[in-house]
Amino acid sequence: MSKLADDSFTPIALRLSTIYGMSSRIRFDCVINMLCGLALTTKKVTLNSNGEAWRPHLHIEDACQAFQKCIDWDINSGELVVLNVGRNEDNLKIIDVAKMIHQNVEGSQLNYLINKDEDDRANLIKDRKIQDGVDTRTYKVLFNKINIVLPDFNCKWNVERGVKQLLNELQYIELSDEVFNRKEFYRLQQIEFLHKQNMIDDDLFWVN
């Protein structure tokens, strides 16, 4: 993207945290969305690891706000601008997010897929990159820069408020087990299905 920069165009690269929140085409393979869906449809907050990995989290409305602010931003630096999008306070361990969801869903249980004979019929919870219960993809991100350089940008949501909102909205639409387990809401599973059906090729282009 840096090659696109010149005196008349300043490209902006937004490095988004892990998105969560309600949308018309929600992805249930994002950690907070998945755990909220599991809690409501199975009464089990099931982790596919020990939960010790760190992740930054970002409400979908704050992600949209960042795009809007960038579109409206009158900037002409002539150089690529790279911004992490999120809140420092929302760098959280997966286990802490799971406990938060568990506490907000009455009657739910906190379980570990690696230690329990949990039912994963649709093979949606397992992750091949997690070995022996350890997810090595663990990281924290600093977000100081975006609050300094991007005019008027400020995350409106924290994870605790966002989790409660998402749970309320999923309950409002009466999320069912059947809908939650549709592979269309899980990116990798859907891509693998389309590939096996010869609907997309090895480069992920549609087959005519």
| pLDDT tens for each residue of 99-142 | 999 999 999 999 887 644 455 544 666 666 665 566 778 889 99
More confident residue, 117 or 81: 81
CA dihedral 118, 179, 106, 17 (to 10 degrees): 90
Distance (Å, whole) CA 186 – CA 194: 12
71 is a domain residue:
yes
CA dihedral 71, 77, 82, 88 (to 10 degrees): -80
197 is a domain residue:
no
CATH number at residue 18: 3.40.50.720
**pLDDT, tens digit (0-9, with 9 covering 90-100), for 23-40:** 988 999 999 999 999 999
168 is a domain residue:
yes
Per-residue pLDDT, averaged over 178-201, amounts to 90
| Amino acid identity, position 170 | L
Helices (DSSP H) in the chain: which residue ranges?
A: 31-42, 60-72, 94-104, 144-149, 159-172, 177-180, 187-196
139 is a domain residue:
yes
Asked which of 51-65, 109-123, 188-202 is least confident by mean pLDDT, the reply is 109-123
Of all residues in the chain, what percent carry a pLDDT higher than 90?
69
Distance (Å, whole) CA 55 – CA 42: 24
204 is a domain residue:
no
pLDDT band at 41 (very low <50, low <70, confident <90, very high): very high
Other Cβ atoms closer than 10 A to 102: 18
pTM (two decimals): 0.87
Question: At a CB cut-off of 8 Å and minimum separation 6, what does 75 contact?
Answer: 10, 12, 81
Range of the domain at 121: 2-183
Q: Exposed (0-12), middle (13-18) or buried (19+): which is 147, by Cβ within 10 Å?
A: middle
Beta strands 44-47 and 81-85 are: unpaired
203 is a domain residue:
no
141 is a domain residue:
yes
More confident residue, 198 or 76: 198
How many structural domains is the chain composed of?
1
Mean pLDDT of the chain: 89
